[in-house]
Amino acid sequence: MEILQVLLKISLVIFMVGNLLDMGLRLEMSEALRDLRDVRFVVASVLFGFVALPALAYAITELLPMAHPFAMGLILLGMAPCAPFLPPMVERARGDMGFAAAFMLLASVVTVAYMPFAVPLLVKGLSANAWTIAKPLVLFLLVPLAIGLALQHRSAAWAERLHPFVKKATGIDTILMLLLCVVVFGKEFLELVGSHAIGAQILFFAAATVGPYVLGFGIPRTQRVVMSLGMATRNLGAAFAPLFAIPGVDQRAIVMVAFGVLMQASFSFAAATFYGRHAPTAAAAPGGGTGAA
């Protein structure tokens, strides 16, 4: 089991590095930066992702009785929006693919800057200094993203050739990581039943998915779709990073974050399917601009 746990950590690192490298290789920086000039979209994304949802996660842990490690895991999930598989979800939902790229870039940078200072304040029991928390985030999120962007800037042709290999390797690793999660934490997942932990995650992910879409006043539908799916998905690598960086963390906190794999997959896929089926004709094409409100 110890060997499997080591393999799980390795697969998680590959998952983070591979997905961020893949993102850098295919991210249209000029398009993302252009869309980041939309002040309303950026402000709403930051407020939902790094103020409202962390506060919601914290409030849920105060309202629902659950073991402290489970509460710790939920708050970490609440701090880390946007999974690397956001683009296919946005495409399925007929959202704006340009703003999906902008959201991923924004979420990655803000997460690395935000979590080192927010974690010690909100997560009781993780009293590490900012650099201890920031180091794995910088190493496994920002560095591979920067390498991918640099390779694309140097040679778009080489980036295009490299992208399929990175994507395939990361896809295989993702399957392996999920299998290892089930093997390593399968028994612990069953122990979540009756602990309020599952109910807490359902409440959190439901609010994270619906809230940005319903409350995104004045923001076009295709952009609200991006925010909704960006919040419904969680950057599990960023949520795991503080737990793996600090020794002696209760295993149940890791289990709580790992269970987020199932929750985010369920909610984001259901939401993307719903949005896609109810998309106005004007928003039918991927990257369909503003669409109908």
pLDDT in tens, 96-111: 988 998 999 999 899 9
Amino acid letter for position 287: G
Rounded-to-10 torsion of CA 263, 264, 270, 271: 130
pLDDT in tens, 9-48: 888 888 888 888 888 888 777 888 888 999 999 999 999 9
Confidence band for 49, pLDDT divided at 50, 70 and 90: very high
Confidence band for 293, pLDDT divided at 50, 70 and 90: very low
* pLDDT reported for residue 115: 92
Residue 287 reports pLDDT greater than 70: no
185 phi/psi in degrees, rounded to 5 = -110, 5
Q: 81 has which bridge partners?
A: 234
Contact between 243 and 185 under an 8 Å Cβ cutoff? The reply is no
Residues contacting residue 41 through CB under 8 Å, at least 6 positions apart: 35, 99, 102, 219, 223, 227
CB environment 36-68: b (16+ within 10 A), e (fewer):
bebeebbebbbebbbebbbebbbebbeebebbe
Amino acid letter for position 198: I
pLDDT in tens, 122-176: 888 776 777 888 888 888 888 998 898 888 888 888 888 898 999 899 889 888 8
Percent of the chain with pLDDT over 90: 39
Residue 237: count other Cβ atoms within 10 Å of its Cβ.
Answer: 24
Contact between 148 and 20 under an 8 Å Cβ cutoff? The reply is yes
Residue 289 reports pLDDT greater than 50: no
Residues contacting residue 191 through CB under 8 Å, at least 6 positions apart: 255
pTM for the complete prediction? 0.85
pLDDT in tens, 205-246: 999 999 999 999 999 999 999 999 999 999 888 898 888 777
* pLDDT reported for residue 2: 78
Q: 234 has which bridge partners?
A: 81
Average pLDDT value over all residues in the chain: 86
Contact between 48 and 110 under an 8 Å Cβ cutoff? The reply is no
Residue 251: count other Cβ atoms within 10 Å of its Cβ.
Answer: 13
81 phi/psi in degrees, rounded to 5 = -75, 160
Residue 75 reports pLDDT greater than 70: yes
* pLDDT reported for residue 272: 96
Q: How much is the average pLDDT of 81-107?
A: 90
CA 144 to CA 20: how far, in whole Å?
Answer: 6
CA 146 to CA 195: how far, in whole Å?
Answer: 41
Q: All domains of the chain, ordered by start, with CATH?
A: 2-275 (1.20.1530.20)
